[in-house]
Chains A and B, each alone.
Chain A
Amino acid sequence: MNNINHSNSGVLLKLTDVVAGYGSGMVLKGVNLELKKGDVMCLIGPNGAGKSTVLKTVSGLLPPKEGAVVFEGQNIAGHTPKENLRRGIVHVPQERSLFPGMTVWDNLLMGGYLIRSRKVIQDRIDEAAHLFPIVTERRNTHAGSLSGGEQKQVELARTLIFDPKLILLDEPSIGLDPKSRRLVFEAIRGLATAGRTILLVEQNARSGLAAADQGAILETGLVRITGVAATLLEDPEVARLYLGASTMTRPPAKTQQEN
């Protein structure tokens, strides 16, 4: 019953006063965040702010110490990654997440590990291949011998095997050249157009915000600013503090995203 209320308001994920940390220290000190169904939200902030930690509390890799993580109206704080995966939350971590010694194909099959029907997996792989043709072109290649950009594409394709309701992407553009980076952001837009809800963490803040509907800025374990991504991009104060001052004097042109 709760479900209905929340899906009416369109909120898919809501974090309320989430406190989390490793060992005794607190990394997140009361994070509040709200993500609407079908939106892409980009979370930015300095190194060590706790961005990855936010994603971990949502996927279940790190149980929060306090606060609520509400997904589709249900508090899932402290649930395991497996349980959350079954609910439709897929987390692509910051570190490389493919299995390097397995073929691209086997990696995709692992993306459907919890799906028992081989037919369903096969269909989803076919769908994913529309967006990421590489997965069929290189299906027998060992994932470890793909380039960083190619691996990212396989990682993104793999998230689709689960037909997720929420995709958590931790710095998908890290370490990529401008061309691969553009491909990744195009892919994210493609996923968004297809109606996926995405929580994106990005160090390339401008490109990240440009690909997003909503933006949030995390600093020292607290969400400082939230708002429409395009507005944040044009806010001179935000630009000065968080985006680097390069285009502060000019209004940022939306098409020039390479930095």
Chain B
Amino acid sequence: MHTLIQGIILGVLTGGVYALMASGQTLIFGVMKVVNLAQGAFVIASAYLAFSLFTQFGIDPLVAVLITTPLMFGIGVVGHWLFLRPLRSEDANQLSLLITFALAMLVEGILSMTYRTTYRSINTSYANKAFDIGGFSVSAVRLYGFIVSCVLLIVLYIVLQKTRFGRAIRATVQNPQSATLLGVDSVRVKAYGFGLGISTAAASGSIYGLLFPFNSGSHYDLISRLLSVVVLGGLGSIGGAVLAGVIIGVVSSVAAVTWSPTWSEMTFFVVLILVLLVRPQGMFGRVERGAL
């Protein structure tokens, strides 16, 4: 029983981080109907950035988020402008998959050249610290990561729900023609929406770098996990992605403690296949109903 609860705690904490990564991915799908295969690569790139900021300047990875988030936003906007904007809308759906995959390769290539392919990890002073909460051991890194993820998810929620820019994004997602007719510049919304989606990679990267050793190829594993989360949540649904992140986090962590770590790895893919077979639109996805 103790190990089970321990597993659930661990799962919720890890799930919060998946939730953050996946929210960006699903936001991008919502705004542009693009499955962004480069999301994992941007997370790893952010992990490297956090690594450099830590080793070169001694900036804590969780503080570095304040630097990397706007940076990733900018990279997202520029990336959209360079690679996705030129697509003609008729081709966009099919081609964008190839283009974001190419973008992932590009990021990976740059990272391998800059940092080589040896595994890195970020060893902060609290890397091995753990809190004892009611008899359960909670690692400091996971707890901090979870808190940062929650804060950013709340910020993301407020931006989308309460600001003019957020309304424009939601409007574009729900009815692009109508948004255009009300004066929304859809190209700009898409660029900023893509930037916002990519910017969630920044904090995710810092936390990922604190939790796991990584190299430039780590994004393959990551993107397949993210896809499972996003598909379970329902493509385009941020609430769904958050819930799915936590569910998958818990299931895989419980599988690890009660069964075997190998099965834990498999959870993501089992979930992905089950969802695609049973309910392809995911928990909160809409079956093409005009809006999304």
**Closest CB in chain B relative to A138 CB, distance in Å:** 18
15 pairs, A vs B, C-beta closer than 8 Å: A82-B183, A82-B185, A96-B290, A97-B181, A99-B175, A100-B174, A100-B290, A102-B167, A102-B170, A110-B167, A110-B179, A110-B182, A110-B184, A113-B167, A113-B184
- One of A85, A95, A100, A144 near B182 (C-beta < 8 A): A85
**Residue total for A at the interface (Cβ-Cβ under 8 A):** 24
Cross-chain contact B171 with A61 (CB below 8 angstroms): no
8 Å CB contacts to B: which residues of A71-98? Answer: 81-82, 85-86, 90-91, 93, 95-98
Q: Is the CB of A113 within 8 A of B183?
A: yes
Chain B residues with CB under 8 A of A144: 291
Footprint of B on A, CB under 8 Å?
59, 61, 81-82, 85-86, 90-91, 93, 95-102, 106, 109-111, 113-114, 144
**Contact, CB under 8 Å: B290 / A61:** no
Apart from A85-B182, A102-B170, A110-B184, list 5 A-B contacts with CB within 8 A: A61-B180, A93-B181, A109-B167, A114-B182, A114-B183
Query: B168 at the A/B interface (Cβ < 8 Å)?
Result: yes
CB–CB B178/A113 < 8 A: no
Asked if residues A113 and B291 are in contact (CB atoms below 8 Å), the reply is no
**SS class, residues of chain B in contact with chain A:** helix
CB-CB under 8 A for A113 and B182, given A99-B170, A102-B170, A144-B291? yes
Query: Is A95 touching B177 in the complex (CB atoms < 8 A)?
Result: yes
Interface size class of B (residues with CB under 8 A): 10 to 19
Please measure, in the bound complex, the distance between the C-alpha atom of A113 and the C-alpha atom of B181, giving whole angstroms.
10
From 199 to 218 in chain B, residues with beta carbon under 8 angstroms from any chain A beta carbon are none
Please give me the residue from chain A that is nearest to B175 by CB atom. A99
Residues of B with C-beta under 8 A to A100: 174-175, 290-291
List B contacts of A90 (CB < 8 A).
Answer: 181
**In the complex, what's the smallest C-beta–C-beta distance from A182 to chain B, in angstroms?**
25
Within 8 A of A (CB), among B127-172: 164, 167-168, 170-171
- How many angstroms between the C-alpha atoms of A81 and B187 in the bound complex? 13
Interface residues of B (CB under 8 A from A): 164, 167-168, 170-171, 174-175, 177-185, 290-292
Collect the chain B residues with CB atoms within 8 Å of residue A98's CB: 175, 178
Residue from A81, A93, A96 with most neighbouring chain B CB atoms (10 Å): A81
Tell whether, in the assembled complex, residue B181 and residue A81 are in contact, meaning their CB atoms are under 8 Å apart: yes
CB distance from A224 to the nearest CB of B (A): 28
Is the CB–CB distance between B181 and A61 below 8 Å?
A: yes
* A100→B288 CA distance, assembly (Å): 13
Instruction: Tell me, rounded to whole Å, the shortest Cβ–Cβ distance linking A167 to chain B.
Output: 12
The answer to whether A113 touches B175, judged by C-beta atoms less than 8 angstroms apart, is no
Residue of B nearest to A144 (CB): B291
What are the residues of chain B within 8 A of A59 when measuring CB–CB? Answer: 181
Residues of A within 8 A of B179 (CB): 99, 110
When distances are taken between beta carbons in the complex, the residues of chain B under 8 Å from A106 are 167, 170
A57 to chain B, nearest CB (A): 14
Write out the residue numbers on chain A whose beta carbons fall within 8 Å of the beta carbon of B290. 96, 100
The distance from the CB of B31 to the nearest CB of chain A, in whole angstroms, is 14
For residue A179, give the distance in angstroms from its CB to the closest CB of chain B: 24
Does A99 lie within 8 Å of B171, measured CB to CB? yes
Q: Which residues of the other chain, B, contact A97 by a CB distance below 8 angstroms? A: 175, 177-178, 181
Q: Which of A86, A93, A96, A102 makes the CB contact (< 8 A) with B183?
A: A86
A101 to B184, CA, bound (A): 17
Q: List B contacts of A109 (CB < 8 A).
A: 164, 167
Residues of A with C-beta under 8 A to B181: 59, 61, 81, 85, 90-91, 93, 97
